[in-house]
Chains A and B, each alone.
Chain A
Amino acid sequence: MKRTLSIGATVAVLLALFAGLSLAADTMGGNARKGKYLYRKNCRSCHGVDASDLSPASKTQAEWKKLYEGMDKLPCRAKWPAEMTAEDAKDTFSYLYDYAKDSPSPAKCS
């Protein structure tokens, strides 16, 4: 059977070419590992204590992305530590995004 190359695969190949063969294209571009550290350091002091108990799996990637884009309007924005840079915020949201509930690697629970 030779005619097995599906349309999907063709599309994939084309898209991969466009994406410059970057396989891990589905990210926000920050350092998710650093983000995990920052999230625990900066966010867990409230979230899970007196603010909503958040974890990456609490939201979908789309939802996290939206929050990131509207980051400055977040109610807790004022409580963020002064030293938190834009880079830090990106890292933090990268972490939340990468392990979102609909991500390829949802954070484990239970």
Chain B
Amino acid sequence: MSDPMNSARQGFDPGRRNFLKAAGLLGAGAAASPRVLRALAPAEAQAASVRGEESSVFSACDMCFNRCGLIARVRGGRVTKLDPNPLFTKSRGMLCARGQAGVAQLYDSDRLKTPLLRQGARGEGKWKRISWDEAIALLSAKLEEIGKKYTRCGMLFSAGADMQSAFVNRFAEVYGSFNVTSHESLCLISGNRAFLDTFGEVPFADVLNSRYVIMAGANRFEALVTPDSMDMVEAMKGGAKLVVLDPRFTKTAAMADEWWPIRPGTDMAFMLALCNVIINEKLYDERWVAEKTFGLPELHEHVSAYTPEWAAQETGIPGPEIARIARELAAAAPASLVYPGRRTSDYENSTQIRRSFAIVNALLGNWDKPGGLLAARQVGVKPVPADAPWYDDNPETRVDAHLVPLMFEEEGSFVLTREAVITGEPYPVKGWFVYKTNPMQTAPDRTRTLEMVKAMEFVCVVDIQMSDTAWMADLVLPAPSYLERKDPCQALQGSSACACVVTREPAVPAMFESRPVFDVLKEVAGRLDLAEHFDFTIEEYRAKQLAALNGAADVLARDGVYYNPSKVYGIYDNMGYKTKSAKIELYNQRYITAGLDPLPVYAPPKSPPKEIADSAFRMVVGRSALVTQSSSTNNALLHELVPTNTLWMHPAAAARLGLKDGEMVRVKSPVGEGTQKLHVTAHIREDTVYTETGFGALSKGLSRINGNGLCIAAVLEGKYDSVTGNAAMHETFVSVTKAGGAA
């Protein structure tokens, strides 16, 4: 394996101590050697002097979705270091390991450098370097052709969580396709649905001011969310209590005040039992609940059978402990909460599971209060809508519409769209434009994604690296990394910390032949007679976004972040909730019309199929603070710390199967298999195995993770949340056997 720092070091170190090699033993010419100069200068000044003047550029991190404000230090035309912007309160002025490793992404030898046109079969890896003119002409022609042949909805657009993704969606809209998916339907939409359908909007957790937090289905000290992760530590320092339910002994579990290795898929039972105790013992603020919520009597009746003793059997957590936790939680209310979580793409009933989370919060009366759940604050960044044309020949709606009752129109469902593309029903979708998202790695059931790609006549991927999705594409276009880009503004809320705006200035010019997706789309729009919808520069776009925020642009230039001092608490003091009843809906009326349970009904998690029950495990997936799925695992600096992913298995289970720590195992599910190293550890339940996302890449363009570890997409079944169409990634049972061959 190559020296992980190799690429990142290029140009860092012009051989500062190698003079003797050149000068020989005799010091011939040594008078001018760096060593002599160094010997004559005070030690501290040495490093600085050889590198020249430093400049600092404000940007926002792109190593995950959090967008932490940063300052890029630039010397001699190279980014040497990324520092956190100390004024950026959403991240509490930090950059994590991934943020710090951004330099290695910028200077990664694996970056895409020129437009590439596929030559051999898909996935064969034969590419022809073409010019941008050819690439733009081809992309435009294909968009035109597919639009004509299959209507404009015959194109699918998928953009990742990027500050230029809005331009992809804008392009899709003016081009005329309804078919847009994002990473969200592989991630968070179940939770969003649940809280939106309870409170009328998706809240932020005021972890910092909370006195008691129950965290289930979330791993905040590893899967960092700003400012929640840091605020939780701070709150605990101040005496707040953290109770973690997780089948795995995560770092969050390790630091928590209590850890309960809950049986996977039974979180709802725990939450319903909390409701049972809180209601039966009248531990809630009766006046507040009566005034602000809808459906308490129905809930009361609904949870009457869900006693702690019942929940104990489901969850594996003793009943008296559940009751105690309920009492403690209620005693700390309203400065207490059940943490809503972020990735909720885990179960087929994830929306209802998270509804049970939301309902407990409602009973705590913590809405819009310190230490509770917070409403969205006003940031003031304006959307820049496009006056999209109307295409009469288009079908009525999205290709994945009506398959689940409460899909988010603007996110869709990747899993369901994939099925529609494969079957061609209800109408053909034959072209795919992908920007910085990688469903080949992140969507469960890779075999199906491959079939989807095969069903496509044309796939274009714009990315900074040869992702697995790019590897299967017809046309691959190199994008600059975030450190080379001028980006539009982004509005962010950091819980109670701030409501702010960030943007990006390029720290260095775009490298190689990379072009921002905005430039690409603008040019293509011009060729498709859509120029009027892209007749602006990034600067002009930003000006429109900031039109309502006087002086924000200047503040952004000065501080790298603009804060809107808008109201944090009490936003709802004189306002109804944005629900049908205008109250917090413990009981959701709309669910009845949608054919859904208006209150979350518990169903025990499925058991593994009988024939493999002895060697089957429920597979759960997740990540550490060093991993953002496949976009970070190939990063040289991070790869050194996380060289591969392993399969966590309990020692008792490993002993039963005769498997040893460190050996290679075959992980097999009904849809696929893969091999990886076994990590035998008591940090996981005996009935569950865990692995990390982002490994086992097919792409040979990802030199560090190609064929390294297990790709979760290869083994996870393509199940989905029946309410939103969100992927359901914890519904797969895998069998584990010795792979043969040493680790």
Direct A–B contact in the complex, CB atoms closer than 8 angstroms: yes
Q: Which residues of A contact B (CB under 8 A)?
A: 1, 3-9, 11-13, 15-16, 19, 21, 23-26, 31, 33-34, 37-38, 40-41, 44, 60-61, 98, 101-102, 104-106, 108-110
Contacts of B389 in A (CB 8 A): 37
Kindly state whether residue B612 has any CB partner on chain A within 8 Å. no
Q: Are B408 and A105 in contact (CB under 8 A)?
A: yes
Contacts of A23 in B (CB 8 A): 402, 404-405, 594-595
A110-B594 CB under 8 A given contacts A3-B305, A4-B305: no
Q: How long is the Cα–Cα vector from A37 to B604 in the complex, in angstroms?
A: 45
Contacts of B590 in A (CB 8 A): 26, 104
Contacts of A5 in B (CB 8 A): 601
A8-B599 CB under 8 A given contacts A26-B594, A105-B408: yes
Since A9-B597, A102-B200, A102-B582 are in contact, a sample of 8 more A-B pairs with Cβ atoms closer than 8 Å, ordered by chain A residue number, is A4-B602, A4-B603, A25-B594, A31-B396, A37-B388, A40-B387, A101-B578, A105-B409
Q: Which residues of B contact A (CB under 8 A)?
A: 178, 196-197, 200-201, 298, 301-302, 305, 310, 313-314, 376, 378-381, 383, 385, 387-390, 396-397, 402, 404-406, 408-410, 491, 577-580, 582, 587, 590-599, 601-604
**Main secondary structure on B side of the interface with A:** loop
Contacts of B409 in A (CB 8 A): 98, 105
**Main secondary structure on A side of the interface with B:** loop
A8-B302 CB under 8 A given contacts A102-B200, A104-B196, A106-B201: yes
The 9 A-B pairs at the shortest CB distance, nearest first, are namely A16-B595, A23-B405, A8-B598, A37-B390, A102-B578, A9-B597, A101-B578, A110-B379, A25-B593
CB distance from A57 to the nearest CB of B (A): 8
**26 cross-chain CB contacts under 8 A:** A1-B305, A6-B302, A6-B597, A7-B301, A8-B592, A9-B597, A11-B598, A12-B598, A15-B593, A15-B595, A16-B595, A26-B593, A26-B594, A38-B390, A40-B385, A40-B388, A44-B387, A98-B409, A102-B200, A102-B578, A102-B580, A104-B197, A104-B590, A105-B409, A110-B376, A110-B379
Q: How long is the Cα–Cα vector from A24 to B400 in the complex, in angstroms?
A: 13
In chain A, what residue has the closest Cβ to B310? A1
Q: How long is the Cα–Cα vector from A8 to B191 in the complex, in angstroms?
A: 21
Q: Are A12 and B580 in contact (CB under 8 A)?
A: no
Q: Are A24 and B385 in contact (CB under 8 A)?
A: no
Contacts of A110 in B (CB 8 A): 376, 378-381, 491
Q: How long is the Cα–Cα vector from A97 to B739 in the complex, in angstroms?
A: 57
Q: How long is the Cα–Cα vector from A105 to B45 in the complex, in angstroms?
A: 59
Q: How long is the Cα–Cα vector from A10 to B17 in the complex, in angstroms?
A: 79
Contacts of B598 in A (CB 8 A): 8-9, 11-12
Contacts of B592 in A (CB 8 A): 8, 11-12, 15
